[in-house]
Structure 1
Amino acid sequence: MKKKIIIANWKMKLMSAESAGFVEEFVKIYKSNKKMEAVLCPTFISLQSVAAQLKDKEIFLGAQDCFWEEDGAFTGEVSPKNLKELGCRFVIIGHSERRSHLLETDEVVHNKVKAALRQGLVPIICVGETFEERQEGAKDFVVMNQVTKAIEGLELDAEDQLIVAYEPVWVIGSGQAVAPEEAEHTHQVIRQVLIDHFEPATVKERVRIIYGGSVDSSNIKDFFAFQNIDGALVGGASLEPETFNNLIQQASQVN
């Protein structure tokens, strides 16, 4: 059975010493279970030290981005090959902050997804509509288009896994999440796009669809109660070890 998953995206908010302090405390209080996986995504410069702290722990390491080539003259970039060597299992791709601030296109996202899969990493493909697109009634179309372009031409090998994270752009950092019922509907839309592309059994066994956007202890159980919500991508509520651990434990209580 696929486990549900909660992913901490620290963005650029925890420096190296703070990341080390978080992990030191988190590993003391976190109790793994058969229903849930936990992933920490620190900054690039903290990956190596966090990887060392997580050695032999049942907590996974992820990165916040990657480049689409394995090596070469690409100043400032970090390849999936580098991430794999550091011990990463997951990598966030196409986060709305990169799409807006760094002008990442659907083509760039697609190329990064392919590069991550080549290295055996699990891509976390972020999709979501802006407030304007929502007001225009284009939410489902936008999300379907982003997912379609991200996975176009992809085939998943026997060991490959994939995660799609639905994060409405307008709720990120706002403290206001969408209604869980609406997230469930959008996840159903995403799942159908995936089923139309891959075999239904492949989607069932190796693809997870998760929600992100102002997830916290007040709403995590509501989201996890829905059938098509396989996990959460968490920002602000992942920055304190006790808060993040509490989030995981609450989600684990949902049948």
Structure 2
Amino acid sequence: MPRQFFVGGNFKMNPISRGQKATIISTLNSADLDSATEVVIAPPSLYLIPLRDIVRKEIQVSAQNCYFKDSGAFTGEISPAQLVDAKIPYVILGHSERRSLFHETSEFVAQKTKAALSSTLKVILCVGETLQEREAGQTASVVEKQLQAVVDVLQESDWSGIVIAYEPVWAIGTGKVATSAQAQEAHADIRKFLAQAVSSATAENTRIIYGGSVTAANCKELSTQLDVDGFLVGGASLKPEFVDIINAKRQ
């Protein structure tokens, strides 16, 4: 079975006024979207439920982060159980901004991934290397180390709930984009690693999406690569061109 194309929109902590929220959702609700593509949007947690209630049912809503405990004295955190109770199906974990700015280790990301999956959330698991690591030829080893921490705490069956987002750190919000060949190489390496570390079936079935300055101008070429199963979009997800990215696979 071919892997279903997946496009996620990560709104990050960008401000969304009532008017902007209405415009973004109105654009998505009225757009002619490729029904073969799974679409998920990830607004700041303040807007999760309001957007869930007004966006068209074909578009799912994701949290941008969660903790690994279901409850307790963890001020400022949001739990997997709370997201499930709010009927939020997805969560983004391991984003490079969480790793670099908030010092989340791969082991901590793995712990959160296990907790999210155990609560029946689906996970968009982010991995990727810095520019220094890429220039040193360490892309594959860095990404494999990030993934190995997750492999170590999961069962093979858990991987059906994971979408891997390969996001080279040097391409996030910089305007620099991995070439289609670079993206394909990294995605193929991830698939090869999954085959060795988990199983060939997991490698074949797991969707691996690309993130890093994806726009309407570059999404078509990226989408033609064999192992690129979609995108995790940042800034462009707040613009009308997000519709074009969602429709990247449409002929």
Q: TM-score, normalised by structure 1?
A: 0.92
Alignment-mate amino acid for residue 60 of structure 1: Q
RMSD, aligned α-carbons: 1.7
Q: Secondary structure at the match of 1:252?
A: coil
Distance in 1, matches of 2:85 and 2:180, equals: 37
Taking a change above 3 Å as real, the CA distance of residues 49 and 20 of structure 1, as seen in their structure-2 partners, is: farther
Alignment-derived partner of residue 7 in structure 2 = 6
Kept in 2: contact 1:9–1:234 (CA 8 A): yes
Offset of 1:168 from its aligned partner?
A: 0.6
Alignment-derived partner of residue 105 in structure 1 = 105
Kept in 2: contact 1:133–1:139 (CA 8 A): yes
Alignment-derived partner of residue 248 in structure 2 = 250
Kept in 2: contact 1:11–1:235 (CA 8 A): yes
Aligned residues: 249
Offset of 1:114 from its aligned partner?
A: 0.3
Kept in 2: contact 1:19–1:46 (CA 8 A): no
1:124-203 correspondence runs (5 A): 124-157=124-157, 160-203=160-203
1:219-238 correspondence runs (5 A): 219-238=218-237
Alignment-derived partner of residue 21 in structure 2 = 19
Taking a change above 3 Å as real, the CA distance of residues 4 and 251 of structure 1, as seen in their structure-2 partners, is: same
Distance in 2, matches of 1:89 and 1:156, equals: 20
Distance in 1, matches of 2:173 and 2:222, equals: 17
Provide the identity percentage: 38
Distance in 1, matches of 2:171 and 2:159, equals: 34
Kept in 2: contact 1:14–1:42 (CA 8 A): no
Offset of 1:250 from its aligned partner?
A: 2.8
Distance in 2, matches of 1:139 and 1:202, equals: 21
The answer on 1:82 being equivalent to 2:82 is: yes
Q: Secondary structure at the match of 2:14?
A: coil
1:51-70 correspondence runs (5 A): 51-54=52-55, 57-70=57-70
Taking a change above 3 Å as real, the CA distance of residues 54 and 156 of structure 1, as seen in their structure-2 partners, is: farther
Alignment-derived partner of residue 31 in structure 1 = 33
Q: Which structure 2 residue ranges, 5 or more long, are not aligned?
A: none
Q: Deviations over 1:22-48 (max 9, x none)?
A: 1133111143412x1111100000001
Q: Secondary structure at the match of 1:11?
A: coil
Kept in 2: contact 1:19–1:42 (CA 8 A): no
Distance in 1, matches of 2:158 and 2:132, equals: 40
Q: Which structure 1 residue ranges, 5 or more long, are not aligned?
A: none
